[in-house]
Amino acid sequence: MKYTIKPSADGFLTIDMEFMPNRIGTWEILLPTWRPGRYQSQHFAKNIPSLHAFSGARACAIQKIASSLWQLSVTDLAPVRISYRYWAQQADAGGSVVATDLLYINFINCLIFPKAWENKACTVHIDYPANWQTATSLSGKAGTYSVKKYRELVDSPFLAAPTVFSHAWKEGKTKFFLEGIGPATHFSKKLIQAYQQIAAYQVQWMGDFPVKYYHFLLWICPKPYYHGVEHTQSTMMVMGPPERDCYEDLIGLGSHELFHVWNVATIRPKALLPYVYTKEVYFDTAWVVEGITTYLGDWFLGASGVISWEEYVACLLGNLKLHFERDGQSEQSLLDSSVDIWLDGYGAALPGKRVSIYYKGALVALGIDLLLRQKFSHAKSMRDVMRLMQARYGYLKRGYTRADFYALVEEVYEDSLADFWQKWVESAQPLEDDITELLRCVGLHFYQDQEGQIHLDSLSGSEARQHAFLR
């Protein structure tokens, strides 16, 4: 497949897609309805007014038959070109934007493909002003990039602007980049140093890094914003407004998104391997994907020394508050809320209905980590779980189920955790007493005051246990 993309001054992208059909007859042409990282239908096809198809100079019949599906009639074994416009005005990390000083494209939003061609090679040519600079994990030059699969293209956002900040460094076998647009003050030495420290720590913690190149992409936007999307070879982070010091948000978000290179890009729930872009895919392990990543993303900040013990405890308290003070009484189990992310996982939900796969998921991850640390005096931790997940599922490109995850954690724990799963994951029972007990073993005092506010204090004389927790 060959795509040509031209931004227009009216806010649209003009797109041509060419492919060589290998049979005559009816073809189904599709557009993704959602994107990995946000498990919710977004129906990108609402941004396409119409498609026009041609075989040579002759028009081909193409008819829309569902919201993101067109039927194309192929009468010759000659290249087919499909031409359309895409309204690119979604200014977030997962959208696409055409502006006078910016071109940002998530190909998953806007590139149609023939049914079952997700694994075919693609070339994309993007027509941006010759004097602009770019940031992307795609390889190629002068706006032309080739990938082995459509899947890789739609996992690689593209950013172009008159000036793009760029800094690169090597960690182990991987070349890392911090690239992006916005005031130079946001691309500080302090931020670069923090990313270097976080990347070095995560790579040594997991043993190696799944990819050779990785790009932290950053867009400091005019509006108040906080959004990030994970990809296999990059993350896109959008923060604003420019007057705000985004450093703390950027280290937390960068650490979280980087760990997704393992936890979801490589180690993936079975239902998501491979991604089916055109329908909702339910999985009851969204809390493994987002909860462990949320918990570890912050833990890495403390463990790598980017933040102090006190700052880490404040971070941990922040996450615990987001569960206990907001969702502590919610009716759903983590399993139900995992399936329901497609329904109401991101915006508002009914009062008292859902728990967050991020924050209750992070609480479960903390619970697993502390159970292991307690039983094995810190000789085992979440690290053993994630390294084994990488060995059993990530490296082998095998998807895991909830039962697989349970069994693997129990293997590391060397005993059944049936009661733990039932209480923490499969029910909506209160967990205050359990977490109070577990946190004591790392020198932390967790308690709720009379107003229902929760607190987390470092116990004096427990410095050795606290130190052990961050290792």
Binding site for Zn ion (CB under 5 A): 290, 293
Residues 6+ apart with CB under 8 A from 19: 1, 2, 79, 80, 114, 117
What letter represents residue 190's amino acid?
K
Question: Which residue number, 285 or 293, has a Cβ lying nearer to Zn ion?
Answer: 293
- DSSP one-letter string for 183-221: -GGGS-HHHHHHHHHHHHHHHHHHSS-S-SEEEEEEEE-
Question: Which residue number, 137 or 293, has a Cβ lying nearer to Zn ion?
Answer: 293
Question: Which residue number, 293 or 333, has a Cβ lying nearer to Zn ion?
Answer: 293
Question: Which residue number, 284 or 290, has a Cβ lying nearer to Zn ion?
Answer: 290
The distance of closest approach from Cβ of residue 207 to Zn ion in the complex, given in angstroms and rounded to an integer, is: 22
Contact between 96 and 175 (Cβ < 8 Å): no
**79: preceding bond cis by omega (within 30 degrees):** no
Tokens of 162: 């008159």
Question: Which residue number, 266 or 293, has a Cβ lying nearer to Zn ion?
Answer: 293
The distance of closest approach from Cβ of residue 265 to Zn ion in the complex, given in angstroms and rounded to an integer, is: 11
Question: Which residue number, 346 or 447, has a Cβ lying nearer to Zn ion?
Answer: 346
Question: Which residue number, 68 or 232, has a Cβ lying nearer to Zn ion?
Answer: 232
Nearest to 4 by CA among 162, 110, 90, 114: 110
The distance of closest approach from Cβ of residue 338 to Zn ion in the complex, given in angstroms and rounded to an integer, is: 14
- The CB density around residue 470, as the number of other CB atoms within 10 Å, is 15
The distance of closest approach from Cβ of residue 48 to Zn ion in the complex, given in angstroms and rounded to an integer, is: 28
Burial class (CB in 10 A: 0-12, 13-18, 19+), 97: buried
The distance of closest approach from Cβ of residue 256 to Zn ion in the complex, given in angstroms and rounded to an integer, is: 6
The upper half-sphere exposure of residue 270, i.e. CA atoms within 13 Å in the direction of its Cβ, equals 8
Nearest to 268 by CA among 301, 295, 232: 232
The distance of closest approach from Cβ of residue 148 to Zn ion in the complex, given in angstroms and rounded to an integer, is: 26
The distance of closest approach from Cβ of residue 211 to Zn ion in the complex, given in angstroms and rounded to an integer, is: 17
